Amino acid sequence: MKYIKHILKEIGYSIDDFLRRICGSLSEDARIIIILVMLLLFSIGSIYITVSSIYNMGRERERKETFEIQHIKGLDITGKPKVQDDTINIERYYESE
């Protein structure tokens, strides 16, 4: 377990060093531009996925795959319980017969 933690930490350090080398050579303005471009792309992707999901909810194809709402059926409390359904009182059920 300690060995796996050590490997994961080393991988994290390697990734951190790699990103620091790449971003360290960029100017401060270039970093801000890259951050803003990435923010814009991820925001557009998020909005696209949200809008397309909402749009597809009402389509006929999607309606067939969803569950239909049904009324709740009443409980049959007057009949004898089935042995499979009553696992807690199974001994009492056999004793009463």
CA dist 70 and 33 (Å) reads 54
What is the model's pLDDT at position 23? 81
Q: Is the pTM of this model over 0.75?
A: no
| Domain ranges for the chain | 29-97
Per-residue pLDDT at 24: 82
Q: Provide block-wise average pLDDT over 10 residues at a time, the chain (97 residues).
A: 88 91 85 93 96 79 64 70 56 56
- Residue type (1 letter), 18: F
| CB hemisphere CA count around 59 (13 angstroms) | 8
pLDDT confidence of residue 93: 54
Task: Say which DSSP state 72 is in.
Answer: P
Whole-number pLDDT of residue 37: 96
Q: How far apart are CA 74 and CA 95, in angstroms?
A: 28
Q: How far is CA 80 from CA 84, 88, 93, 94, in A?
A: 12, 15, 9, 12
| Residue 15 identity | I
